[in-house]
Chains A and B, each alone.
Chain A
Amino acid sequence: MTNDKTIRIEPVTRLEGHGALTITLGAGNKVKDVQFNIGSTRFFERFLVGRPMEEVPRIAPRICGICPEPHHLASVKAVEAAWGVKPPPAAIKLRRLLIESKQLSSHAIHFYALAAPDFVFGPFADPSVRNVAAVLKYMPDVAVQAIKIMEFGQELCRDVGAKAIHPVTAIPGGMLNSLTEEERDKWLKAVPQLLENVQKTVDLAKTVVKAYIDVITKVAVTPTYYVGLSNKGVLDIYDGTIHVMDPNGTMVADFEPKDYTKYWGEHVPDHSYATHIYYKPAGYPDGIWRANTLARCNIAEKMATPLAQAALKEMRDLVGRPSHHTFAYHYARIVELVQAAESIKKLLEDPDIVCTDVKLSDVTPRAGEGVGVVEAPRGTCLHNYECDDEGIVTKANIIVATNHNVGGIEKSLMDAARLIFEQDGLKKLRLPEPLVKT
C-alpha cells in the first residue's frame, strides 16, 4: 500500500485519437510517473494482408480522418517503390498540391481550433469557453479568417483528391483525375485573399508569442532528438531523405526511406497502444525523438519559399536552433503554414498543373517491397509493404506521426508536471491578461 496519488485526465481533449493522462505523485508531490495512455488501435498492419496492393491507397487514408492525404500518398509511393513505377511529373505536382493543401488546412485548424483557445482566453478560463465555439462568439473576425484558410485547404484537397476526407485519386502510376483549367483559375483568383489571411495569422501568432514568451521559454523545454524529411536541406513534405538531429543540434543521420529499420526502433510501452518510435542507435529512452512542425523546422537548413524563410529566421532569432521548447511547436506551425500557402500559389501558377498526362497505363505488379514516406502535418508518415508477384500484400508496417511523438509528449509532460507539482511553478510564471475576457 503506497500513499501515491494518481491523477487521471480522460479523455485528453482537443486532440485526435483516444488519449488519457495518468500522473502519479509520491510523497511531497514528487512526480513519479507520467503516462500518456492511448487506448485503442485498429490493426491495419494485419488486415492489409491479402489485399491487392493498388487498393491499399484507398484503405490507408482511413488511418486518420484529420490527415488522410499523407496516408493516401505515402501508401501510393510505397506501392510504386515496390513495383518500380515512376509516375509522370505532372502527377507528382498534383500530389504535391494535395499534400500542401492538407498542410494548410491542418495547420490552420490546429492553431485556431486546438491551440488558440488556451492563449486567447487564457489557460484557466472555464472549459465551456476555452474552445473554438467561443472564438466564434467573442472574436468573429478571427474566426472567419480561420475558417477561410481551412476552407481553402479542404476544398482544394477536394478538387484534387475528390474527397477531402479519404481522397481517392492517387493510383500506382499517377493520378486518376487531373485539375481542369476552370478549377485552376478559380483557385488562383482566391490566392491573394489566402495570403492576406495567412499574414493576419502570422501577426496574431506573433502577438501571442510575445505575450506568452515566459511560458514558451520555461514550460516543457524538453531536449530530444528530432526526425523529419528534408530535401537537400530544404523543408519538403512530399519527398526527400530522412534526417535525425540529436539534442545538441548535430545531424546524426541522413538516409533513404527504404533503410528506415536500421535507424527506427519501436518501443512498446506497457501503458499505451500507441508504440513509441525512437532513434535506434541511441536506445530507449535516450533515443526518444519528436517529429512534427518544430522537428522539421529544427532539421531544415532553409524553407522552400521566401516568406516562410523570413518567418523561420525570425523564429530562430527568438528560440534558437535546435529549439526544444514544446510551445514553439505552435510557432513552427505558423512558419510551415506560410510555406504551404506559398507553395500552393507556385504550384497553381505552374502550367503543368492542368496537364492531363497524369497516369501511366502499363503498370504491372511484381513481387517486392516498397517504402513510401511523406511528412504529415504532425510528423513523418511511413508505409512499408511487401507483396507477391500478383501484387497481393504479404506484409505491412505502418508508422504514423503520433508514434514519433508520444515518447516526447510524455517527456515534456513530465517536465511540465514537475514544474507544476514540485515547484509550484505555475504561480511564478508571468501570464499575460487573456486577449479576450469572457
Chain B
Amino acid sequence: MTKRIAMAQLTSCWGCDQSLLDLHLGLLEVLPELEIVFWPAVVDFKIKDLESMPDESIHIGLVEGSCRTEDDVRLLNLMRAKSKILVAWGVCSCYGGIQGLANQWELDELVDRKFMKADTVTDPRIPSENVPAFVPQVRPNVDVVKFNILLPGCPPTSKNIVEALAAILTGKPFDLPEKSVCDQCPKVKQDKHITKFHRSHEGRIDPSKCLLDQGYLCLGFATIGFCGAICPTVNSPCKGCFGPVLRVKDHGAKIVSALGAIAEMEPEQLKDSFPDPIGSFYFTDYAASYLSRMRDKARSKKK
C-alpha cells in the first residue's frame, strides 16, 4: 500500500525540496512507496485540492519554511488538519530558520527598507493588492501547531530525509541523535587554550586540527550531530545550521555559557570578539530563542 504524502512550502528557500530531489536514483526506490497528493514544486495540485481532502487523510505531511505571512499560517494549519504525521522539515520549520534574524527589527522597519528605501526603487509603495499580510515576527512552527516529528537541518541531508521517511513508512520511531557535530568531526581535538578569536577569513587554517582550538568560532560542540560535520571537514566553521543538541532549548545561551568556560579571556575581551552575537550564536534559530520570544511578548503587549 502506498502512503499519501503532501509537501507544503511556507516562506522558505526550497532547499529542503532540493535536498529530497538530491536522492537522485534513490528517488526511484522511495517514490513507488508514496502517493504524492500535494507538492506545488513538482506536481500541479492546487490549494483547493488540499482543502477538499478529509481531515487526517494524508499519512505524511512535510512542512518546509516558516510563517512570514498570514497565508503561511493558514497553510500550516491546513497541513496539520489534513495530516496524520506532521513533520517539521528543515530548520526553518523547527526553529524559524535564517529569516528569524529579521525578528531583531519591527515589521514596519523591514517593509520600509525593502519597498520604500532600497537604492534601486523608483516608485516606492507597500504592496497591498492580492497579497497576504505579513505577520509581525517569525515564530517556530512548533509554537503554532503540534508536530509529530522534528527533522532539523538547513537543509536536512538527503540521507536524513530518507531515514525519517523510512521510519515513518515502516511504523518505527524516528529519534534524533544524541551526538553533537564535534562527535562526528574528523579534526584532531586538544585541550582548549583559546586566548583570541579569529574571524573566519583570517589567517591560515591547519586542516588537521580542530577549528575551535585554532581560535575560529566553530559551533560544533553545541549543535546537533546529524549532518556528518560537513563544514568543519572542509575547514569552514560550523555555524549551527541544524539547531542545538538534543534537550537544549536555547542554542545561543548554551554557546555563550560554553565559550565563557573554554576561552581563557576576560569577559569584556570575549564580548568584544563578537560584534554580532545574535547572528553568530543564533544563525538559523533566533526565532526560537528566549530573546526573540521576549520581544514577541513585548510586541503583543504593546498592542
Chain A residues with a Cβ under 8 A of chain B: 9-18, 20, 22, 35, 37-43, 45-47, 50-52, 54-55, 58-59, 62-66, 68, 109, 113-114, 127-128, 130-133, 136, 143-144, 147-148, 150-151, 154-155, 162-166, 168-169, 171-173, 176-177, 260-261, 264-273, 275, 277, 280, 284, 359, 361, 363, 384, 390-392, 397, 399
Contacts and interface: CB of A to CB of B under 8 A. Distances in A.
B110 A268 contact: no
A255 B25 CA distance: 44
Interface stretch (B37-45, B162-170, B246-254): B37-45
Contacts of B36: 131, 133
Nearest to A386: B119
A94 B36 CA distance: 38
A47 to B, nearest CB: 4
Nearest to A41: B114
Given A42-B99, A177-B234, A268 B125 contact: yes
A165 B17 CA distance: 10
Contacts of B9: 18
Of the four ranges (under 10, 10 to 19, 20 to 34, 35 or more), the interface on chain B belongs to 35 or more
B123 A267 contact: yes
A147 B115 CA distance: 40
B15 A62 contact: yes
B251 to A, nearest CB: 16
Interface string B113-140: 1110011111111111111100000000
Contacts of B114: 41, 43, 45-46
A19 B41 CA distance: 11
Contact of B43 (A66, A127, A267): A127
Contact of B123 (A58, A136, A284): A284
Nearest to A8: B130
Contact of A133 (B13, B42, B202): B42
A376 to B, nearest CB: 13
19 contacts: A13-B46, A39-B71, A40-B132, A41-B68, A43-B102, A46-B114, A47-B101, A51-B279, A62-B97, A143-B28, A163-B231, A169-B234, A171-B200, A261-B119, A265-B120, A271-B129, A271-B131, A284-B123, A392-B276
A180 to B, nearest CB: 11
B18 A65 contact: yes
A257 B45 CA distance: 40
Given A162-B230, A176-B234, A275 B131 contact: no
B236 A169 contact: yes
B132 A52 contact: no
Nearest to A403: B120
Given A11-B47, A64-B13, A264 B120 contact: yes
B154 A62 contact: yes
A271 B115 CA distance: 12
Contacts of A43: 99, 102, 105, 110-111, 113-114
B258 interface: no
Interface in B149-207: 154-155, 199-205
Nearest to B72: A40
A39 B201 contact: no
B130 A20 contact: yes
Nearest to A21: B130
A267 B122 contact: yes
Contacts of B22: 154, 164-165
B125 A270 contact: yes
A266 B71 contact: no
A107 B97 CA distance: 27
Interface in B41-83: 41-47, 68-69, 71-72
Contact of B201 (A271, A363, A392): A363
Contact of A392 (B45, B127, B203, B275): B275
A22 B130 CA distance: 8
